[in-house]
Structure 1
């Protein structure tokens, strides 16, 4: 099938051009000026075509408010909640998500069910359960708890053996709990190093919840390559994070979504913590942008959730662009860069021959205004049209 009358957005050049895209057996076969005569076509009516969104800080099983979490919840309830959120994320345009902590390792279950074709979900990179100290940021969330290097290594191996694609650790406090502070370190060098060793032996990598530059430097020294939040980061650490192969998800949504938090019944202490952190969080991300750090899109919320009228991953794009990230780099954060941190950038994240046909389209030019991303009206996954608002398809 040929997708015709599209404006193909080039995320390398920051430009777009008229094109036709040939999709065969779930992949992009070729790109041309026009299809051959008599070829089957789907006319997109001049819409702007981009890769499907890759968003990399996802929690499908999370419960709001956090205090309602039941670590002993029936797995079936966890699965149903997570499957619905996965489905919503996909139809919103997030064709790939990276989960970085799910109760009962339910992301592995949902991933495997989707691979078997039992229901439609995004391409899921699963992290299983995050690894936390018993009294750390992950306490009460169904994390895997450990203390000491040997215990963290064993816990890491257990997640990998259960099917995790990567590992998640909490190296500092956060904003969720009363009295919690993101600058407080929660893991030793030996503990972080043990998790990195387990990941390296399995050919994968470690993602760190990281609130402060001191712990980020500590984790960089131990070989961690993917960082979340960066609530407080100085210029010197931003320069270190700008090294090739290092990725940061700013998750600006966490400190800029008070209306969403209230709609989801967050406790007042969580809202107050987020508001108090918002100014320095923004300044820290602006330092990362100035240093040229490779940024990725992550929401810390279910990515298909409605945040002030747009999907959470679109709200995050707006926050990142508002912090000073260029339009092109904001789009790359949610496509090219997301695929790269997940180590699947030879498969997804681009509209190019040989790549999986995970595609979205918007009515207006996203290189002129990031608000255009609120108008996703076409979603294709693996060459299958899942949504085309102009044709009434859902």
Structure 2
């Protein structure tokens, strides 16, 4: 078993307000074996002197789409499967290079992509997948344009479209079956649409998604398999319905109000804002093929983004880190740090991308902190993120080493 001993590092523990200099971290195989402010003895370990650089846990993005390879998502559905898969590979590499060692895929990625990373066939973050997101007819996941007659565009099981991030399902019984199918195919959690959206062609943002009976059915099926439901929702009313029906995480949440935020906190729900997505859609969506009907909806949710952070913070909501970017805008992932810094402290933002992310994933103790027994997902950073988040932005220029599961994915150990 390979052992690596990092010495003379400044430990970033998300539960502490300041860096802790003079720490050592021992990695054995894929696990953190020991973390100490005293010398660690390990015969045969490869010793790395960090010379005071920051050593911190790998980052967690709770809302990203590995196969969102272009802005025109309806057009992607018709793209040959191999094209979508090959275009996803550099997206995953870029995410990992920016220090995000774990991603919760919010719709689209299947078990084969997750296993490809685990087997070393593809380089990318550890994936927690939702399979295909579930959408009602005419909802956020219904990518069909308007027509006199809507014909089903979902192919048979032997011709599944890899580029489809979602599937259209209506009714309690059909939803129960769809949840069971996604879980049987390897989904770690279930994603539903609880309100209208931006990147979909025919649904107003303020539209409700599934009925309450439908949401409860999805939640019951997920809970019966020991997992949970994440829900796309923008409006306060849609968030109230979802949380009351048992949804665990609200995605986006831009149009929140104070009473709804308090209700969510009382129910122990999480929220995953994705503010960088709207900046990307606003600045370059049309340039890269965002349909006109989607571009027209951006401002409604974009302008409310920072205010939503203030409301969630006052309510004591636990906020995870999310990006939700499409195609070439994946390069902007770490700009979410900068946007949130207008409202939140660096410590709060780092917690959202570490310990809160681990809690959402049910991986507390395994992800989000460098502690004995955790996965050896770590970053060596030039700078102090608790003082200046810029050392985590860009494309990883200030991140000298990215390690996932004890393997150095980027950088070298001297």
TM-score by length of 2: 0.86
- The one of 366, 369, 378 equivalent to 2:388 is 369
Question: Secondary structure in 2 aligned to 1:346?
Answer: coil
SS at match of 1:355: coil
Tell me whether 1:317 sits opposite 2:337 in the alignment.
Answer: yes
Partner in structure 1 of residue 309 of structure 2: 285
Distance change >3 Å, CA 7–CA 306, structure 1 → 2: farther
The number of aligned residues is 383
Q: CA deviation at 1:68?
A: 5.4
Report if aligned partners of 1:168, 1:207 keep a CA contact under 8 Å in 2: yes
Query: What is the CA–CA distance in structure 2 between the aligned matches of 1:165 and 1:268, rounded to whole Å?
Result: 34
1:290-317 Cα offsets, whole Å, 9 max, x none, are 11110011100169x666xxx5332112
Contact 1:63 1:69 in 2 (8 A): no
Contact 1:85 1:302 in 2 (8 A): no
The answer to whether the aligner puts 1:204 opposite 2:227 as a matched pair is: yes
Give me the whole-angstrom Cα distance separating, in 2, the residues matched to 1:263 and 1:10.
41
Aligned: 1:134 with 2:157: no
Query: Are the equivalent residues in 2 in contact too, given 1:3–1:22 (CA < 8 A)?
Result: yes
| Aligned with residue 227 of structure 1, among 250, 263, 280 | 250
SS of equivalent residue, structure 1 residue 185:
coil
1: CA distance between counterparts of 2:62 and 2:42?
Answer: 41
1:326 and 2:331 correspond: no
Distance change in 2, residues 1:34/1:297 (3 Å) = same
Partner of 2:100: 94
Structure 1 unaligned spans of 5+: none
Q: Which residue of the other structure, out of 36, 39, 48, is the alignment partner of 1:34? A: 39
Q: 1:84 aligned to 2:107? A: no
Unaligned runs of 5+ in 2: 144-163
Q: Deviations over 1:217-276 (max 9, x none)?
A: 111111101110112111001112223642111101122233343553434543442234
Give me the whole-angstrom Cα distance separating, in 2, the residues matched to 1:37 and 1:168. Answer: 45
CA RMSD of aligned residues (A): 2.2
Matched, 1:20 2:24: yes
1:178–1:22 Cα change, 3 Å: same
Q: Find the counterpart in structure 1 of residue 354 from structure 2.
A: 335
Q: 1:145 Cα shift?
A: 1.3
Counterparts in 2 of 1:350-361, with a 5 A limit?
350-361=369-380
- The reply on whether 1:152 has 2:155 as its aligned counterpart is no
Structure 1 range deviating more: 376-385 or 191-200: 376-385
Q: Deviations over 1:31-71 (max 9, x none)?
A: 23334497531122321111101101011111423255243
What is the alpha-carbon distance in structure 2 between the residues aligned to residue 135 and residue 40 of structure 1? 57
Q: Map 1:124-273; keep pairs closer than 5 Å.
A: 124-140=127-143, 141-177=164-200, 180-243=203-266, 245-257=268-280, 258-261=282-285, 264-273=288-297
Matched position secondary structure for 1:181 = coil
Separation (CA, whole Å) in 2 of partners of 1:235 and 1:80: 44
Q: Could you tell me how far 1:97 is from its partner in structure 2?
A: 0.4
8 Å Cα contact 1:302-1:312 kept in structure 2: no
Does residue 49 (structure 1) correspond to residue 69 (structure 2)? The answer is no
How far residue 390 of structure 1 moved from its aligned partner, in angstroms, is 8.7
TM-score normalised by L of structure 1: 0.91
Any idea what SS the aligned residue of 2:34 has?
strand
Q: Is residue 64–residue 106 contact of structure 2 (8 Å, CA) maintained in 1?
A: yes
Q: Which range is displaced more, 337-346 or 291-300?
A: 337-346
Q: CA deviation at 1:172?
A: 0.6
Distance 1:235 1:155 in 2: 34
Q: Which residue of the partner structure matches residue 159 of structure 2? A: none
Contact 1:108 1:163 survives alignment (8 Å): yes
Residue 333 of structure 2 aligns to a residue in which SS? helix
Report the counterpart of residue 299 of structure 2 in structure 1.
275
Contact conserved, 1:173 with 1:186, CA < 8 A, in 2?
A: yes
Q: Relative to structure 1, is the Cα distance of residues 180 and 24 closer, same or farther in structure 2, using a 3 angstrom cutoff? A: same
Contact 1:93 1:360 in 2 (8 A): yes
Separation in 2 of the partners of 1:269 and 1:263?
Answer: 14
